[in-house]
């Protein structure tokens, strides 16, 4: 009984803390017709809110409602489909911003609480645990596909409309942006959330300041591959990112990268996963010479490449 009481107290405490910050959003098209619905959460007191990019799709504005009944118009400040994050600005000056946590510190089995507007029911709270961490989820923008890394898997019930809402830890800190329900029928018990961590904080900051994210583009598709034994021993690690495909005419093709090359470092920074390689392609590397350390034919080599901007 005591354990149940403690669990209940934790969920109630988080619900009371986070619900005032969660927003029901209804995107509108250019004819001001409703085109779906979802959730968001207040990021700053003066009207900025975070949601999922797919919630607003190509809408530029919409209607927003808070749990206390207040309603506002919103406009889209910026969106990044390749991380499935977006920032909205509401016509409000007294929102209750959430406290952000760090998803990189989550542990499997940890209590998490989802707050959102599933199926249009604003202020809905569900609870569960972190089922897994380190998942990857593909995000697409036109022909460009990028893996959102370190996605949180949870069994907290998520339904259509939860997307863009808050996933909080037991202290009420938002550690994820609910983004997907996996499987059919609805309620299968597998939900995914984009993590709130150092990388996504930077994305949100860029969306606020610039309205978009600039990324460097190499023009390769890759996956993890074990390193040859001698290279593995010399580097003190097991894996690198194998080049599986090179886009014709891309910076990678111009630099001479080829399938079966294995990328192990960018400008001296170790690349341990495809996510590391993606994260290294920041705006600072656009149109600048970058040294890729690769393994080719069992030996380490350095290839110089000049990434362009991902369009």
Q: Indicate the domain borders of the chain.
A: 2-90, 99-210, 216-309
Q: Which residues contact 232 (CB under 8 A, 6 or more apart)?
A: 226, 238
Q: Which of 117, 163, 273, 280 is catalytic?
A: 163
**24 is written with which tokens?**
């029901």
pLDDT tens digits, one per residue of 147-174: 677 899 999 988 888 999 999 999 999 9
Q: pTM here?
A: 0.84
Q: Which of 37, 80, 84, 159 is catalytic?
A: 84
Query: What is the pLDDT, as a whole number, of residue 159?
Result: 81
Mean pLDDT over 220-224 rounds to 87
Sole residue written with tokens 């645990």? 129
pLDDT class of 140 with cuts at 50, 70, 90: low
Fold match, 2-90 / 99-210: yes
**103 is written with which tokens?**
């998803």
pLDDT tens digits, one per residue of 40-79: 999 999 999 999 999 998 799 999 999 999 999 999 999 9
Query: What is the pLDDT, as a whole number, of residue 215?
Result: 92
Query: What is the pLDDT, as a whole number, of residue 183?
Result: 56
SS3 20: helix
CB-based contacts of 237-242 (< 8 A; 24+ apart in sequence):
237/264, 237/270, 237/272, 239/272, 239/273, 240/264, 240/271, 240/295, 241/271, 241/273, 241/274, 241/276, 241/277
Q: How far is CA 284 from the centre of its chain?
A: 20
- 37 labelled catalytic: no
pLDDT at 135 over 90: no
- 276 labelled catalytic: no
How far apart, in whole angstroms, are the C-alpha atoms of residue 61 and residue 73?
A: 7
Q: Which residues contact 208 (CB under 8 A, 6 or more apart)?
A: 48, 77, 78, 87
**32 is written with which tokens?**
């001001």
Dihedrals phi, psi of 139, to nearest 5 degrees: -125, 140
How far apart, in whole angstroms, are the C-alpha atoms of residue 171 and residue 169?
A: 5
Q: What is the third-level CATH fold of 99-210?
A: Thrombin, subunit H (2.40.10)
Sole residue written with tokens 């697409």? 140
Mean pLDDT, the chain, integer: 90
pLDDT at 246 over 70: yes
Architecture of domain 216-309: Roll (2.30)
Q: What is the third-level CATH fold of 2-90?
A: Thrombin, subunit H (2.40.10)
- 54 labelled catalytic: yes
pLDDT tens digits, one per residue of 255-292: 999 999 999 999 999 998 887 898 899 999 999 999 99
Q: Which of 39, 54, 83, 131 is catalytic?
A: 54
298 membership: H or E segment, kind and range: none
């Amino acid at each position: 009984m005591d354990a149940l009481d403690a669990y209940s107290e934790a969920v109630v405490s988080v619900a009371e803390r986070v619900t005032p910050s969660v927003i029901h959003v209804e995107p509108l098209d250019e004819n001001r017709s409703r085109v779906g619905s979802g959730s968001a959460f207040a990021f700053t007191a003066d009207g900025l809110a975070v949601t999922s990019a797919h919630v607003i799709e190509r809408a530029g504005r919409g209607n927003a409602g808070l749990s206390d009944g207040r309603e506002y118009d919103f406009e889209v400040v910026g969106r990044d489909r390749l991380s499935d994050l977006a920032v909205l600005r509401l016509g409000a000056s007294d929102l209750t911003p959430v406290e952000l946590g760090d998803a990189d510190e989550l542990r499997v089995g940890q209590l998490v609480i989802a707050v959102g507007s599933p199926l249009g029911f604003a202020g809905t709270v569900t609870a569960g645990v972190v089922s897994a961490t380190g998942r990857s989820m593909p995000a697409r923008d036109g022909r460009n596909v990028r893996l959102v890394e370190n996605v949180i898997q949870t069994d907290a019930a998520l339904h259509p409309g939860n997307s863009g809402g808050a996933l909080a830890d037991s202290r009420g800190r938002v550690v994820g942006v609910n983004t997907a329900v996996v499987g059919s029928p609805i309620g299968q018990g597998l939900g995914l959330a984009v993590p709130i961590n150092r990388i996504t904080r930077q994305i949100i900051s860029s969306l606020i300041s610039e309205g978009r994210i600039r990324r460097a583009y190499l023009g390769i598709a890759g996956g993890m591959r074990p390193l040859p034994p001698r290279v593995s021993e010399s580097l003190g690690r097991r894996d690198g990112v194998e080049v599986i495909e090179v886009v014709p005419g891309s910076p990678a093709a111009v630099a001479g990268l080829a399938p079966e090359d294995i990328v192990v470092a960018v400008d001296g920074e170790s690349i341990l996963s495809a996510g590391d390689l993606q994260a290294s392609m920041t705006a600072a590397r656009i149109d600048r010479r970058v040294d890729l350390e690769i393994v080719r034919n069992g030996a380490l080599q350095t290839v110089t490449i000049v990434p362009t901007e991902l369009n």
